[in-house]
Amino acid sequence: MRCVKNLLLFALCSLTTPVFLLAQSNPPTLGTSAPVKWERYRAKDHNISILFPKMPTAWSSPIGCSEVYSESYRAFAEGVVYSLTIYSRKQNEYPCTRIMQFDRKLLLDHLAKIHGTKADDPNVVAAAQDGQKTNFKDDVVSIWVLPQMSKDRWIELTIDHRKDAKTNEKEFVESLDLKSNQGRSIGDGAEATIGDPDTGAADASAADSTSKPPGDPLIVLSRPRAKYTDSARSSGIQGVVRLRIELLRNGSLGNIEVVKGLKYGLTEQAVAAANKIVFLPRRVNGVRVNSTVTFEYRFSIY
């Protein structure tokens, strides 16, 4: 269901690649955290508001060689990730020989990927109708899609979780308001993903991660694309920034170590993007543990 089955999310997820994974224990910090408090937030530049359990991260980006512009808001709470994504039409800004059009066919293909069927499937065609909110659900994810192609956009609500997790799906989905400027402005969102306060219940020392007992793997749900700087582009700088990142058991990020950097602000942009990674922590014998990953952020001039 995740990135490999979602046409547009795959384009975003493929921008960074994990090259190393190692369970960690007893970290020096548990990153940024906050208690769960469901409040109404409004999306930047939209009359769209929804309840989130914490201030979400915010990330927007055109999808290369397409007319598709993606704006995503994500929050982690109690082992669940709640996401609001707005896909809209925007003029392509890359020098491409072929451009993916923002049209009904794109929506149908997207829905077909989510539902695991063909674009001419009657259920997919029905789900593509304007104002028709439809749901796809399995054991670990629930996706609600609301097409508004008459407004050159569609909206998705996603709840990612483990099989045994309790979610507030009903509260989250039913709180979506498409005609509201009420609530706390998300703006540019949280600077880093906000985790849960650590109560000791998810102590990594409670499990021997070196013996590799049965458990749940780390799942990285969102790896925002690092943005080019004007100075790097004008100087023709290309290459890779490599970061070693602690993904903590409470859903937040710990230390970010620069393994390989680039000039002209590209390293800083990679770190800023890494801070907004959203994930479900690895679990060993039902206990959340910390992980260390190495990601590469590639910068290429189109």
Give 240-251 pLDDT, tens digit per residue: 999 999 999 999
The reply to whether 297 and 203 lie within a common domain is yes
Phi then psi for residue 191, to 5 deg, are -65, -25
CA 178 – CA 115 distance, rounded (Å): 25
| Distance from C-alpha of 121 to C-alpha of 158, rounded to nearest angstrom | 22
> Are residues 141 and 58 both part of a single domain?
yes
Is there a single domain that holds both residue 23 and residue 39? no
**Mean pLDDT to the nearest integer, 103-116:** 94
Q: Taking all residues of the chain, what is their mean pLDDT, rounded to a whole number?
A: 86
157 shares its domain with 51: yes
Q: How many CA atoms lie within 13 A of 291 on its CB side?
A: 22
Greater pLDDT, 24 or 140: 140
Same structural domain for residues 46 and 182?
Answer: yes
Which neighbouring-strand residues pair with 49?
42, 177
Full-model pTM: 0.86
CB burial string 32-50: b at 16+ within 10 A, e below:
bbbeeeeeebbbbebebbb
- Residue numbers of the domain that contains 231: 1-31+199-302
Q: What is the pLDDT of residues 142-181, one digit of tens each?
A: 999 999 999 999 999 999 999 989 999 999 999 999 998 8
* CATH value at residue 21: 3.30.2420.10
194, 211, 246: which is the final residue of a domain? 194
The residues with which 88 forms a beta bridge, in sequence order, are 69, 153
Q: What is the DSSP letter of 126?
A: H
CB count, 10 Å around CB of 137? 12
Closest C-alpha among 144, 154, 150, 175 to residue 68: 154
* 3-class DSSP state of 88: strand
Nearest in space to 232 (alpha carbons), one of 224, 223, 241: 241
Same domain as 43, residue 162 = yes
| 120 and 229 assigned to the same domain | no
Give one DSSP letter per residue of 159-194, joined into a string: EE--TT----HHHHHHT-BTT---SEE-TTB-SS--
User: Is the domain of 71 the same as that of 108?
Assistant: yes
pLDDT at 7: 40
Dihedral, CA of residue 63, residue 46, residue 91 and residue 8, to nearest 10: 20
Question: In Å, how far from its chain's centre is CA 131?
Answer: 24
Categorize the per-residue pLDDT at 201 as very low, low, confident or very high, splitting at 50, 70 and 90: very low
Domain final residue, candidates 159, 194, 229: 194
Residue whose tokens read 């290459």: 239
Tokens of 300: 């290429």
φ, ψ dihedrals at 20, nearest 5°: -160, 140
Chosen domain end from 178, 194, 210: 194
* Residue 239: pLDDT over 80: yes
Mean pLDDT across the stretch 30-56? 93
Tokens (6 digits) for 18: 């994990």
- Residues 143 and 206 placed together within one structural domain of the fold: no
Pair (250, 182) in one structural domain: no
Same domain, 110 and 234: no
Cα distance between residue 56 and residue 251, in whole Å: 13
Range in 21-35, 82-96, 184-198 the model is least confident about: 21-35
Q: What are phi and psi of 58, to 5 degrees?
A: -135, 135
pLDDT class of 233 with cuts at 50, 70, 90: confident
Nearest in space to 85 (alpha carbons), one of 182, 164, 189: 189
CA dihedral 180, 277, 273, 12 (to 10 degrees): -80
The pLDDT, as a whole number, for residue 191 is 94
Total number of domains constituting the chain: 2
Say whether both 84 and 149 belong to one domain.
yes
